[in-house]
Amino acid sequence: MTTRKSLGILGGAAVIAASVVAFAMGAEPTHAQVAAKVESQTRPNFGVLLDPPTRSYGARRRDRNRYDYGRHRPDWNSGWRPGYPPLRPGGEEIVLVDCGGNPGTGAVEDAVRRVRPGGTLVIRARAGACVGWLNIDKPMTIIGEGGFDPRDWARNSEPTLQAPDGLPCMTVAQGVRVEIRDMVFASPRAGDAACIVGYGAEIVMNRVGFHHAGDEAAIYADGGLLDIRNAVIEARTIAPAIVADGAVLNTWETVVSGAQSGIEITPAAGPASRLSATTLKGTNAPNAFGPRSIGVIVRAGRDYGRVEIDNTAVCGFVEGVVVEGASVSIENSRVCRSDKGVVLYSGELRLADSRVRATTVGVAAAAGNAVIVNNVFAGMREVIYRENRANVQASGNRVWSQYACRPQFRDRYRGRYEPYWRPGDGWECARGAYPRNWWDEEDGLLGVAYADDGYQLDGYDDYQDGEGWYDRDGRYVPDDRYRGEDRWSRGGGGLWGR
């Protein structure tokens, strides 16, 4: 055999061997990749388990995409509209738009585009409300030409801007600051759309009103700042009227009515949210109907935030104020017409110098720390309820209640009984009728007739004047023969006691 033939045979054998090895090695990595993929999908992610997200970001993204302005206005970025002149780019300092009785022409939406960043949009609605969805993607000020006085809501609440059916009145993009004044918004058939929606935006409103009917909140802010002053919000919805999810919420001289719940706050780290001089009126819906009826609910978030409530009335909800994991301070406020006044599930609560009217319990603490000082409680069966995980410090509280303030009777002298009241844990019963002026500021806001919550013991006035005593069943026994301390030492026990 020649050398050339030997090399050829060896070369062919090498090629065959290489092919076999390549086939064997090529098939194995395929199985290994599949196994690795399966293992990576089933292996626990301990990082997520140790630091779980506290909010459903997927749901929030779906909320963000729920309102597609491009679908609502396909011409918005194209500059072309069939039958209309081209849209003008934003460069005008002040833009006045008058719908002129033609609310659906899109004029108010196009006016937003014409305003330069930092400019002003003035909306005139003399011939009826403008109908449109304002998509705010640059800082601006929006003013209603006709003005608005929330004190005249009953006579002057005609809307300036009305949302299209199933769509918002206004959306504000992230990082954008918009100031709104003298506007009345209407979303009578909102469906699952909120009237005002902001994502990481700064929305500042003064002298504004809302007529909202739908399944979602009237105002929804995801992050950013929501500042509402001198406002009236009528929201016929089973959702809270205002939702601040990770946003700083400030309200002042604001009235909210009609909603199943008033305000929902998930505070973020940073400045505290503050509710001041605010009135929340519930629907008196029982627990058996729909979602929980709550005046103010403060939910837990990843960041431990703070909410301050001052000079605020919360009336007509099953639960007045609910704290689920934050620091909440309530001062100089009123919680009325409720089943449970204030409920602390976890977190911190300070309730001071306030009045709470409820039917079941004044303050219920399941866990966390509660400081309850110098308050007035009325109507409830139990003033303060606490569980083992809760730390409650209470002092200086007064109570008017026909249940918690029933006296007990002890034998003082030969079958003559005197009444006495056992002090509560940080509270004591008050004497006399519940003040009418307090009632007018509480349940009277909802038109409920006055009812005295104080316990009136029969004959107690004469008893305090030194006349008579009580029997073992608490019935008053009048007797003017022995007055003052003599009734406890003379005339009792038959013949030998005379």
pLDDT confidence bin for 74, thresholds 50/70/90: low
Summarize pLDDT for 428-445 with one digit per residue, the tens: 988 888 999 999 999 888
Judgement on whether residues 339 and 412 belong to the same structural domain of the protein:
no
How confident is the model at residue 101, as a pLDDT? Answer: 59
Judgement on whether residues 351 and 455 belong to the same structural domain of the protein:
no
Judgement on whether residues 454 and 395 belong to the same structural domain of the protein:
no
Whole-structure pTM value: 0.79
For residue 44, being part of any structural domain is answered with: no
Summarize pLDDT for 5-22 with one digit per residue, the tens: 444 444 454 444 444 444
How confident is the model at residue 7, as a pLDDT? Answer: 42
Judgement on whether residues 412 and 361 belong to the same structural domain of the protein:
no
Judgement on whether residues 301 and 413 belong to the same structural domain of the protein:
no
Judgement on whether residues 338 and 463 belong to the same structural domain of the protein:
no
Among the ranges given (219-223, 383-387, 414-418), the one the predictor scored with the smallest mean pLDDT:
414-418
For residue 271, being part of any structural domain is answered with: yes
Query: Is 229's pLDDT higher than 50?
Result: yes
Judgement on whether residues 161 and 66 belong to the same structural domain of the protein:
yes
How many domains does the chain fold into?
2
How confident is the model at residue 494, as a pLDDT? Answer: 46
- The DSSP secondary-structure symbol of 398 reads E
> Which of the listed residues 400, 417, 438 is the one where a domain comes to its end?
400
Mean pLDDT of 101-130: 84
What is the C-alpha R_g of the chain? 35
The CATH number covering residue 274 comes to 2.160.20.10
CA pair distance 357, 404, nearest whole angstrom: 13
pLDDT confidence bin for 409, thresholds 50/70/90: confident
For residue 199, being part of any structural domain is answered with: yes
pLDDT confidence bin for 30, thresholds 50/70/90: very low
Query: Is 357's pLDDT higher than 90?
Result: yes
Instruction: Locate 306 and state its tokens.
Output: 């703070």
For residue 26, being part of any structural domain is answered with: no
39, containing H or E segment: helix 3-42
Instruction: Locate 237 and state its tokens.
Output: 């919805």
Summarize pLDDT for 475-498 with one digit per residue, the tens: 888 887 888 888 888 765 544 443
Among the ranges given (99-103, 417-421, 493-497), the one the predictor scored with the smallest mean pLDDT:
493-497
For residue 54, being part of any structural domain is answered with: no
Judgement on whether residues 226 and 105 belong to the same structural domain of the protein:
yes
For residue 142, being part of any structural domain is answered with: yes
- The DSSP secondary-structure symbol of 475 reads -
For residue 42, being part of any structural domain is answered with: no
Which range marks the domain in which residue 346 is found?
61-400
Judgement on whether residues 371 and 463 belong to the same structural domain of the protein:
no
How confident is the model at residue 287, as a pLDDT? Answer: 62
Judgement on whether residues 221 and 115 belong to the same structural domain of the protein:
yes
Strands 408-413 vs 196-213: parallel, antiparallel or unpaired:
unpaired
Judgement on whether residues 166 and 222 belong to the same structural domain of the protein:
yes
| DSSP strands (E only) in 15-98 | 92-98
CA pair distance 406, 456, nearest whole angstrom: 9
More confident residue, 219 or 50: 219
Strands 240-245 vs 196-213: parallel, antiparallel or unpaired:
unpaired
| DSSP strands (E only) in 12-109 | 92-98
How confident is the model at residue 89, as a pLDDT? Answer: 58
CA pair distance 158, 147, nearest whole angstrom: 11
Judgement on whether residues 155 and 301 belong to the same structural domain of the protein:
yes
Residue 85, phi then psi, degrees to nearest 5: -70, 160
Please answer whether residues 403 and 381 qualify as being in contact, where contact means their C-beta atoms are separated by less than 8 angstroms. Answer: yes
Which amino acid appears at position 51 of this protein? D
For residue 192, being part of any structural domain is answered with: yes
